[in-house]
Amino acid sequence: MAAEHRDPGDTEAVDDLAPRRPYTIDTLIQIMAALRDPEMGCPWDKQQTFESIAPYTVEEAYEVADAISRGDLADLRDELGDLLLQVVYHARIAEEAGAFGFADVAASISDKMVRRHPHVFGTADERSAGAEPGFWERIKADEKAAKLAERQKLGGAVLTCDSLLDDVPVNLPALSQALKLQNKAARVGFDWPSLSPVLAKMREELGELDEAIARGETDEVRDEFGDLLFVMANVARHLEIDPEAALSLTNAKFRRRFGRVEALLRASGRDPDEATLEEMDALWDRAKAEERGAGD
């Protein structure tokens, strides 16, 4: 439902669009409605669609995670606000299309939390029974069946098959998606029995990548490299390691150590592009040694 049209010359209408403190979630919803107002809204905001702002939604989620990893609570507050804005934005576009609004989004997640926690919100018997094995999977299966019916009502894609893997989002980061796909398959027994054969498969895939490189087939190299990454995600799963988190830690370590290399070079009056590889390797080893010494 679009916002009511207003005369652009109506100063009282303009004043009505100005938010006033104290701000609440309702204020934010009103701000978004004003930004999307067909006549008086922001030209950029009025043009946006689900698809055009989806990349910003993903980016804001990563910025929340970054603030958490840095332990910056002030930044986390602001980044959570940016992420909340994305929710309000999508809800407003949906409301204009007559599909649902922010209140429906809040009601949906509230219903889900209550439904998935009968050991907290259920009957006295359900609370006393606690979180029984398998209850989570049963509840999610019921939700999936209900969503299939709701999807068509809201104009979503109608699935032509009911695969175990259908609810793994295709836009997840690739390593996280691989982990979820493997976990789903493992639940029905499609899994290596232990870590040992997974490591053997890893070595096999590495050999196939080496052979593809020797043949010089670009597409084959890409495919074999993907196979190697997929099995590495499986190695991480069997080790009970989150591959995204592990790689993030390594990325942070690389940033930290290379930053130290840059700092050491600057102290000698040079930039990295003025140093040889051998010099930077030596400084890298020094940075590693300093870190290990600081941890002693």
DSSP per-residue letters across 119-160: HHHS-HHHHHH-S-TTHHHHHHHHHHHHHHHHHHHTTPPPPS
Number of structural domains the chain divides into: 3
Q: Last residue of a domain, which of 99, 115, 131?
A: 115
The C-alpha atoms of residue 231 and residue 203 are separated, in whole angstroms, by 10
Tell me whether residue 161 is in a domain: no
Q: Which two tokens stand for residue 49?
A: 């669609």
- Is residue 23 helix, strand or coil? coil
Same domain, 261 and 233: no
Same domain, 107 and 29: yes
Burial class (CB in 10 A: 0-12, 13-18, 19+), 277: exposed
Q: Which two tokens stand for residue 20?
A: 């006033």
pLDDT-derived band at 204, boundaries 50, 70, 90 = very high
Same domain, 109 and 194: no
For the chain, give the mean pLDDT: 87
Same domain, 46 and 109: yes
pLDDT in tens, 167-179: 788 888 899 999 9
- List, in order, residues 6 or more apart from 173 with CB less than 8 Å away: 244
- Is residue 17 helix, strand or coil? helix
Same domain, 220 and 266: no
What pLDDT does 131 receive? 73
Distances from the Cα of 66 to the Cαs of 75, 81, 83, 154, in angstroms?
9, 14, 13, 34
Q: What is the DSSP string of 261-277?
A: HHHHHHHTT--GGGS-H
Tell me whether residue 130 is in a domain: no
Tell me whether residue 93 is in a domain: yes
Tell me whether residue 76 is in a domain: yes
Q: Residue 264: how many CB atoms within 10 A of its CB? A: 19
Same domain, 15 and 111: yes
pLDDT-derived band at 295, boundaries 50, 70, 90 = low
The C-alpha atoms of residue 195 and residue 145 are separated, in whole angstroms, by 35
Q: Last residue of a domain, which of 115, 131, 160?
A: 115
Tell me whether residue 180 is in a domain: yes
Provide the domain limits for residue 44: 11-115
The residue among 40 and 159 whose pLDDT is bigger is: 40
Helices (H), the chain: 11-17, 25-35, 43-47, 50-70, 73-96, 102-115, 118-121, 124-129, 135-153, 174-186, 195-215, 218-238, 243-267, 277-295
Tell me whether residue 234 is in a domain: yes
- List, in order, residues 6 or more apart from 235 with CB less than 8 Å away: 195, 198, 199, 202
pLDDT above 90 coverage of the chain, percent: 65
- Fill in the amino acid letter for 240: E
Is residue 98 scored above 80 in pLDDT?
A: yes
Same domain, 18 and 103: yes
Q: Which residue has the tokens 């052979």?
A: 211
pLDDT in tens, 67-81: 998 899 999 999 999
Q: Which residue has the tokens 């429906």?
A: 104
The C-alpha atoms of residue 210 and residue 215 are separated, in whole angstroms, by 9
Q: Last residue of a domain, which of 100, 115, 130?
A: 115
Tell me whether residue 20 is in a domain: yes
CA 200 from centre of chain: 31
- Is residue 8 helix, strand or coil? coil
Same domain, 27 and 106: yes
Single pTM value for the model: 0.65
